[in-house]
Amino acid sequence: MDTETGSSPDRDMSLLDVISSNAVLRADSWSQEFRLQPTQPAADTRLQYWLLGAMYSEDSGDYTLLTDVGTDTPWAGFSPNFLVVAMHDYRSFSVFGETVWRISARLEGILGGRFSYDALDYRLDVPVANPPFTPPGFSLTYTGDKTFNDFSPRLGLSFRWREDVSTYITATRGYRTGGFRSDVFTTQKANPVYDPEHLWSYEAGFKATFRERRMRLNAALFYIDWHDMQIPVFDTGISNVVIRNAAEATSRGFELELTSRPFTNLQLGFSAGYTDAEYENYPNCEGPGSNCAGDPIPLTPEWTLSAAAQYDFRPGQGVDAYFRLEAFYQAETTIDQERLFSESYANGNLRLGATVGRWQVTAYVENLIQPDYYIGSICPNSSANGCQVVPERQQYGLRFTFSTR
């Protein structure tokens, strides 16, 4: 897949001609995955399920950033423009597998794992020096290569109390590859690599169906323990986002999901989630000597709730229609490391759809209750006017779909 994207933000976010930029990202990527697994479980063996697979992917591209210093700049000595060119070549390979074994008539064991190998080549150039932007002693060209590898196991047990009630426990190790920081010219020239992220995720759950499978209840408790958690942070030295590693972080909570079909044409659903996610140790998060231990992890609200109701009907011969109402709530949450908050909000969506042959039409209204609220922020350090907030707005319209099958 070949992609090219561009942006031309006004970095000072004012009416003055202070500083702006023009960025272009070109990328070429492809991936291929192979899986081998049985179509149905074997009834006469202890091996109930197995899966083997492999995946390979490549991603290469270049990023060009031209920063223009305008005539209204308050800083003396700045040259008219500053050019940065970054190039990367990323290759990833992994093999994975999983088996489910019948230990007894009611007890099953889960054993799986994934081996990952990642290789990254990186080059960063500043063709023209600009002393006001760059500190003394920096290099105009940086090249580097790095490889990462990891093995992540998955273990679990599942016990079936009866045909429609079961419990389970799982332990899974997670991995995210490392990479090169974009601020290699400044504070990170001596150590330009950010580390891979690792975690252990533990979950215990309950699954049950009732009333002749018309009602389903799923509940789960979870605990996640992160090490070297990767955090995107807007760096005040280069006016760009860089990746930092928080030393430790944890997340704990529960999830609940209930679905029901009290009548043939009516579906009801409800879900609730509680999450307590915070940094356990994050040194130098806001400068030398600081520590964000105890701060909440951004974009992890403490409470989330949702409910839905859908009624299916046939208004005419050959016409299948539905009416669906959705409601959801999210508690207050931090948006980013700048300690900005998104206030709690409740909202809803409304949909009315019909299918006739291969055609489907849907009328919808999204964000029905609260037309405007904020879901994110942009805080460029070169701005003299604070931060921009990212809004979510009310939308309504008609959607037409045609199926070729």
Per-residue CA distances from 256 to 106, 136, 280 (Å): 24, 56, 26
Residue 110: pLDDT over 90: yes
Give the chain's length. Answer: 405
What value does the mean pLDDT take over residues 81-93? 82
Average pLDDT over residues 104-131: 85
Lowest-confidence segment of 131-135, 138-142, 325-329 by average pLDDT: 131-135
In this structure, the number of other CB atoms found within 10 A of the CB of residue 343 comes to 10
Minimum mean pLDDT among 91-95, 121-125, 218-222: which range? 121-125
Short-list 277, 267, 351, 274, CA closest to 305:
274
- Measuring CA to CA, which residue among 65, 2, 63, 62 is closest to residue 29? 2
Q: Which of 382, 126, 137 is nearest to 236 (CA)?
A: 382
pTM of the model: 0.83
Question: In the predicted model, is pLDDT for residue 261 greater than 90?
Answer: yes
pLDDT tens-digit series, residues 185-224: 554 556 678 899 999 999 999 999 988 889 999 999 999 9
DSSP 92-129: EEEEEEEEEEE-SSSEEEEEEEEEEEEEEEEEEE-SS-
Nearest-angstrom CA–CA distance, 152 and 383: 42
What is the mean pLDDT of the segment spanning 261-265?
Answer: 92
Please report, for residues 308, 353, 362, 399, the alpha-carbon distance to residue 323 in angstroms, rounded to integers and kept in the order given: 11, 7, 10, 15
Mean pLDDT over the full length of the chain: 84
Residue of 80 and 269 predicted with greater confidence: 269
**pLDDT for 345:** 86
Least confident span in 171-185, 189-203, 248-262, 387-401: 387-401
Q: Which residue type occupies 301?
A: P
- Domains of the chain by start residue, with CATH: 195-402 (2.40.170.20)
CA distance 251 to 222: 8
The arithmetic mean of pLDDT across residues 145-173, rounded, is 96
Phi-psi map region of 357: left, alpha, beta (phi>0 left; psi -120 to 50 alpha) = left
What is the reported pLDDT for 382?
Answer: 45
d(CA 208, CA 102): 20
Q: Is the pLDDT of residue 76 over 80?
A: no
| Per-residue model confidence as pLDDT tens digits over 278-310 | 999 988 887 788 888 988 888 899 999 999 999
Give the tens place of pLDDT for each residue, 10-68. Answer: 666 677 777 777 778 888 999 999 999 987 766 667 888 899 999 999 999 888 877 77
Asked whether the predicted pLDDT for residue 326 surpasses 50, the reply is yes
Rounded percentage of the chain residues whose pLDDT exceeds 90 = 50
Q: How far is residue 118's CA from residue 96's CA, in Å, rounded to a whole number?
A: 15
**CA–CA distance, 369 with 350 (Å, rounded to integer):** 10
pLDDT of 233 reads 76
Going by the DSSP 8-state scheme, the letter that residue 291 receives in this structure is B
Q: Which two tokens stand for residue 402?
A: 């045609």
Those residues with Cβ within 8 angstroms of residue 190's Cβ, 6 or more apart along the chain or in another chain: none
73: amino acid identity, one letter: T
Q: Would you place residue 372 in the very low, low, confident or very high pLDDT band (cuts 50, 70, 90)?
A: low
